[in-house]
Amino acid sequence: MKLILVADPDPAVSQWLNAHLRFAGVELLNTSRSDALQTALDTRPDLVVADAEPPDWFGFSLAQHLREKAPEIPLLLLSASTEAWVQETARVLHARALVRKPVSAESLLPVVHDLLGLPPFAPTPQDATAPPPASAPTPAMPRFESPAETTPLTAPRPPRPAPAASVPAQAPPPTAAPAPPAAQPSLTGRVLIVEDDRHIAKALAVRLRSAGLEVLMAGDALSGLDMAVRHQPDLVLLDIGLPAGSGLKVAERIQTLLPKLTPIIFLTASRQPGLREQALRLDPVDYFEKPYDADKLLEAVQRALASRV
């Protein structure tokens, strides 16, 4: 499953990405600016999306850190600037693409599809529900497939020409403040993630740790069962299709070997007939087919942990 890390952009960007890509095997993970670099290093996403806007030009700072610490992670920058130095800075810092703001689904999604290696983007009827751009859709700015090796930049410094004396300075029109991100629930407990897809496992771990939970991870059936017995978690997020065994068998053994009833949430990409019925016979808290809704999964986690006696 592909993973996109969205670093504090316009909320509409997350909305378009989630609406169009969640059924294409893509997981979306939002993060704050302060956590963006560490989250990228922890999860190793297939794409990072970030703003490069004044006054702090955050996207450029993130690009430089990624170039130094994880140059293999592709970065897509968003910017309203038409200045040549902005495009050149993005190229120098090894950004893979620069999309001009205001962003529309038509300008953003084809670039994302291309960078992730997905089939070409085809607009759907739901695009009509998005607010129309003020003019024709803004085309994406050039993509930098083979960035040139140049001297590292520290902080981009845009030219600041003094305004002409005869022309009074105009204050920019007021804009609505972006909606604040939804507060993460504060939870307590220990959660074991048994998942062989490292992107999914790490994305889940970031979400759960940000909610205050202790997280353990295992990548196959045997190590998952071993960790469950040794650490006795308060909840297990359990993939069904695992190396070295079935998640259903792991669930049965967990319920047999642990001294207390351990809540289990099943995850699976399989559409095998009868699989859901087999899983539900083990009385899990919930059952999610991939790609799943991350917010609904977190709600199920919260529900399971709140029901502990």
Q: 161-199: per-residue pLDDT in tens?
A: 444 444 444 444 444 444 444 444 568 899 999 999 888
Spatial CB neighbours of 43, under 8 Å, sequence gap ≥ 6:
3, 5, 29, 199, 202, 203, 206
The pLDDT assigned to 175 comes to: 44
* Co-location of 203 and 94 in the same domain: no
* Co-location of 213 and 118 in the same domain: no
Provide mean pLDDT across the span 25-45.
Answer: 87
CA-to-CA dists, residue 44 to 72, 107, 237, angstroms: 9, 25, 21
Residue 217 lies in a domain: yes
The pLDDT assigned to 133 comes to: 43
Which percentage of the chain shows pLDDT scores above 70?
Answer: 78
pLDDT at 152 over 50: no
Residue 161 lies in a domain: no
Q: At 157, is the pLDDT very low, low, confident or very high (cuts 50, 70, 90)?
A: very low
* Co-location of 97 and 34 in the same domain: yes
* Co-location of 134 and 205 in the same domain: no
Q: How far apart are CA 309 and CA 265, in angstroms?
A: 18
Higher pLDDT, 142 or 260: 260
pLDDT in tens, 39-70: 899 889 999 999 988 777 889 989 989 988 99
Q: At 126, is the pLDDT very low, low, confident or very high (cuts 50, 70, 90)?
A: low
**Residue 260 belongs to domain with CATH number:** 3.40.50.2300
For residue 38 the two structure tokens come to 């560490």
Sheet strands side by side (includes 264-268) = 214-218, 190-194, 235-239, 264-268, 286-289
The pLDDT assigned to 264 comes to: 97
Q: Which of 82, 108, 143 is the last residue of a domain?
A: 143
Higher pLDDT, 183 or 27: 27
Q: How far apart are CA 233 and CA 215, in angstroms?
A: 9
* Co-location of 122 and 202 in the same domain: no
Q: How far apart are CA 196 and CA 125, in angstroms?
A: 35
Q: Which of 110, 143, 176 is the last residue of a domain?
A: 143
pLDDT at 79 over 80: yes
Using CB atoms within 10 A of its CB, is residue 285 exposed (0-12), middle (13-18) or buried (19+)? middle
Of the listed ranges 153-162, 198-207, 246-255, the one predicted with least confidence: 153-162
17, 28 in Cβ contact below 8 A?
yes
Quick check: helix, strand or coil at residue 126?
helix
Q: Which domain holds residue 121?
A: 2-143
Q: Is the pTM here over 0.85, yes or no?
A: no
The pLDDT assigned to 205 comes to: 87
Average pLDDT taken over every residue of the chain: 80
* Co-location of 135 and 215 in the same domain: no
pLDDT at 270 over 80: yes
Q: At 151, is the pLDDT very low, low, confident or very high (cuts 50, 70, 90)?
A: very low
Residue 175 lies in a domain: no
The pLDDT assigned to 144 comes to: 54
For residue 202 the two structure tokens come to 């790490």
Q: How far apart are CA 293 and CA 122, in angstroms?
A: 22
Residue 183 lies in a domain: no
Residue 180 lies in a domain: no
The stretches of the chain forming alpha helices (DSSP H) are 11-21, 33-43, 58-69, 84-92, 105-116, 198-210, 221-231, 247-257, 275-280, 294-306
44, 70 in Cβ contact below 8 A?
yes
* Co-location of 109 and 37 in the same domain: yes
Residue 199 lies in a domain: yes
Residue 164 lies in a domain: no
Higher pLDDT, 163 or 202: 202
Q: Which of 119, 143, 167 is the last residue of a domain?
A: 143
Spatial CB neighbours of 253, under 8 Å, sequence gap ≥ 6:
225
The pLDDT assigned to 142 comes to: 53
Number of domains in the chain: 2
The pLDDT assigned to 309 comes to: 52
Provide mean pLDDT across the span 68-80.
Answer: 92
